[in-house]
Chains A and B, each alone.
Chain A
Amino acid sequence: MSRVHDMGGRFGDGPVVPEREDEIFHEDWHARALALTLASGTLGQWNLDVSRHARERLAPMDYSAFSYYEKWMGGLATLLVDTGVVTREELTGKSEPQQSPLAERCLKPENVAAVLAKGGPVDRPSNIAPAFATGDIVRVKPHAENETVSGGHTRLPSYAAGAKGRILRLHGSHVLPDSNAHGGGESPEPLYAVVFEASALWAHAEHPRDEVVLDMWQSYLLPVSDV
Chain B
Amino acid sequence: MPHDHSHSDDPHSLLPSDPALRVKALESLLTRKGLVDPAALDEIIDTYENKIGPRNGARVVARAWSDPAFRTALLKDATAVVAELGYYGRQGEHMVAVENTDIQHNMVVCTLCSCYPWPLLGIPPGWYKSDAYRARVVREPRKVLADFGVTLPSETSVRVWDSTAEMRYLVIPQRPSGTDGWDEEALMNLVSRDSMIGTALAGTP
Contact = CB atoms under 8 A, between A and B. Distances in A.
Q: What interface size band does chain B fall in?
A: 35 or more
B99 interface: no
B68 interface: no
B113 A55 contact: yes
Contacts of A60: 7
B176 interface: no
Contact of A21 (B7, B43, B54, B91): B54
Interface of A: 5-11, 13-19, 21, 23-29, 31-36, 38-40, 43, 48, 52, 55-56, 58-62, 64-65, 67-70, 73-74, 76-78, 80-81, 85-86, 88, 90-93, 97-100, 102-103, 105-109, 111-113, 115-123, 155-157, 159, 171, 174-175, 177, 191, 193, 195, 201-202, 206-207, 209-217
A99 B193 CA distance: 43
B35 A102 contact: yes
B112 to A, nearest CB: 6
A24 B48 contact: yes
Contacts of A76: 26
A108 B40 contact: yes
Interface of B: 5-8, 10-12, 14-15, 19-20, 22-27, 29-30, 32-37, 39-45, 47-49, 52-54, 88-94, 96, 109, 111-114, 119, 122-123, 125-127, 129-144, 147-148, 154, 157-167, 192-194, 199
Contact of B194 (A13, A18, A24, A214): A18
A103 B162 contact: no
Nearest to A171: B167
Given A5-B113, A99-B33, A70 B147 contact: no
Contacts of A56: 112-113
Which secondary structure characterizes the binding site on chain A? mixed
A157 B36 contact: no
Given A78-B12, A121-B166, 9 more contacts: A27-B20, A52-B112, A67-B19, A77-B11, A99-B33, A103-B35, A171-B94, A174-B94, A210-B141
B11 A81 contact: yes
Which of B25, B35, B90, B126 has its CB near the most chain A CB atoms (within 10 A)?
Answer: B35
Which of A13, A36, A88, A115 has its CB near the most chain B CB atoms (within 10 A)?
Answer: A36
25 contacts: A6-B112, A8-B109, A8-B162, A19-B127, A24-B123, A27-B20, A35-B42, A35-B45, A40-B36, A43-B35, A52-B112, A55-B113, A62-B12, A73-B19, A86-B30, A91-B29, A100-B34, A102-B34, A116-B52, A121-B166, A157-B162, A193-B167, A211-B160, A212-B138, A214-B164
